[in-house]
Amino acid sequence: MSTLTLKDGTEIYYKDWGKGQPVFFHHGWPLSSDDWDAQMIFFLQQGYRVIAHDRRGHGRSAQTSGGHDMNTYASDVDEIVTALDLQNVIHVGHSTGGGEVIRYVAQHGKGRVAKAVLISAVTPIMVQTENNPNGVPMSIFDEIRENTATKRTQYFVDFSIAFYGYNREGAVESEGIRRNWWRQGMMGAINAHYECIKAFSETDFTEDLKSVEIPVLVLHGEDDQIVPYEITGVVAAKLVKSGKLITYPGFPHGMPTTEAATINKDLLEFFKS
């Protein structure tokens, strides 16, 4: 099992397979690098070097008492990238991982990053504020916090339904996908999951997006019930200097898993462009 001990002593688990141009995958809340299975195997077979880590407090990484904020997440990624001496990297982030990608690129990635991809990402900001009146009300995130803190085991079972759009008419539910979501979530620490809710909902990535000069692909499902695409993907694509937006009618938040063939095709086209 590959692990890296960071400067603060935190042990981070990561996968690093293959050779070729590196593609670094950043997972969403409250999951792990395993959520990228459909992409890791596909791009490994396409001749890329694929890397993914379990964020601190998530998956197989150390369950730390602190550091569950976007600046620390980005710094952790920088330590991994530096330790592996990755160059000309394509960073791909899903949901919370999209915020992590943009914060990393803005603060640490200059000279090492070739391209970035935001999939169902929380950028530029999710929560409703005076400056973001169309955002998601804080009461929704308070509810997520309360349920995570008090009944995480059942809440994570239930959360996967909307995550993958299985509550929509005509959807074909996969019990295996739902069980895998729960498995990944329960591997992580409850304090990390609780504190990460603030990180993914309240962090403002507007200035990060504006500062990014590399090509950025934004992918978002139009039926995303977790991160509404109109206030995130559509806006993020306009804020970056070189952005391309693709939205998918009917696709859910967890589309890298449920719609892997389509997502992988569009990613590969962007990687090669």
Domain edges within the chain: 3-272
Cis peptide leading into 133, omega within 30 of 0? Answer: no
User: Which neighbouring-strand residues pair with 115?
Assistant: 90
Segment 64-78, tens digit of pLDDT: 999 999 999 999 999
CA distance 208 to 230: 19
The two tokens of residue 137 are 């009300």
Secondary structure letter of residue 171 according to DSSP: -
Q: Which tens digit of pLDDT belongs to each residue from 15-58?
A: 999 999 999 999 999 999 999 999 999 999 999 999 999 999 99
Residue 24 is predicted with a pLDDT of 99
Enzyme catalytic residues: 95, 224, 253
Report the predicted TM-score, pTM, of the whole model to 2 decimal places. 0.98
Q: What percent of the chain has pLDDT over 90?
A: 100
Distance (Å, rounded) from C-alpha 259 to C-alpha 252? 9
Query: What pLDDT band is residue 242 in, cutting at 50, 70 and 90?
Result: very high
- Architecture per CATH, domain 3-272, reads as 3-Layer(aba) Sandwich (3.40)
pLDDT band at 1 (very low <50, low <70, confident <90, very high): confident
